[in-house]
Amino acid sequence: GRPDAHLIQTVILRSLSQAVYSAEDKGHFGLALDAYGHFTSPIRRYPDLLIHRAIKHVCLGLAPETFSYSFQDMVNFGEHCSATERRADEATREVVSWLKCEYMMDKIGQEFSGIISSVTSFGLFIELNELYIEGLVHISALGKDFYHFDAVSHQLTGEQTGKTYRLGDAIKVVLSRVDLDEKKIDFDLTQKSNKTKKLKVNKKMKKHKKNKKRLK
């Protein structure tokens, strides 16, 4: 029920290493299981079919050495299936990215609400609310200030203004560019977002100056 549940899930998934098919039982980190077998319907994935064949072999009471595949065969199958899955995932991502760009083509200049889904040294990635479409606000679009990137706290902080952009912050952006060939979407901050942040920073600076005067 958390409003930021999708963001938390995305960040956790990004932090995990990709799963691979293995001939050895290494458990399942995400499920916290020491023993785990990957099988669903055998029509879905070839690794599932291999597991079903192995289970059937055991259920029939047949000796392990009479199984159709050696341990090395299973290792090779695992490596091959892992590689083909990566290719399929990459192809899917490419197509989905292109379709997202095509959808946004006629929306240049429109304003959207979103959250900061990733912070890098070169800018902010914004995920639009409800659409789950991600684009970049380049650091050059954040204003004339020099921004320091903090990888630990996932934030950019302006050296002169003190403006801070953090992972998970709500933000309003304007669609500025869509590149179908590169499958990239660029945003600019809305004037409202800039003004709001400047007001907050100015109030902090005024308060700081007042405290300094009191100390004197």
The whole-number pLDDT of residue 42 equals 56
Question: How many Å apart are CA 189 and CA 143, to the nearest integer?
Answer: 10
Question: How many H helices and E strands in the chain?
Answer: 4, 8
The whole-number pLDDT of residue 199 equals 42
The whole-number pLDDT of residue 204 equals 46
The whole-number pLDDT of residue 216 equals 52
**What are the angstrom distances between the C-alpha of 192 and each of 27, 112, 147, 172, 189?**
50, 12, 20, 8, 8
Query: 68-118, pLDDT tens digit by residue?
Result: 999 999 999 999 999 999 999 999 999 999 999 999 999 999 999 999 999
Residues of the chain with pLDDT under 50: 195-205, 208, 212
Does this model's pTM top 0.85? no
The whole-number pLDDT of residue 197 equals 45
CA 203 from chain center: how many Å? 34
> Where are the chain's structural domains?
20-103, 108-215
Residue type, 116: I
- What is the CA angle 144-159-203, rounded to 5? 90
What's the distance, Cα to Cα, between the start and end of the chain in Å?
50
Are the beta carbons of 86 and 142 closer than 8 angstroms? no
The whole-number pLDDT of residue 193 equals 54
In the block, tokens 């609400």 appear at 113
- What is the CA angle 154-208-213, rounded to 5? 160
- Residue 60's SS3 state is coil
Pick the CATH number of 108-215 from 3.30.450.20, 2.40.170.20, 3.20.20.70, 2.40.50.140: 2.40.50.140
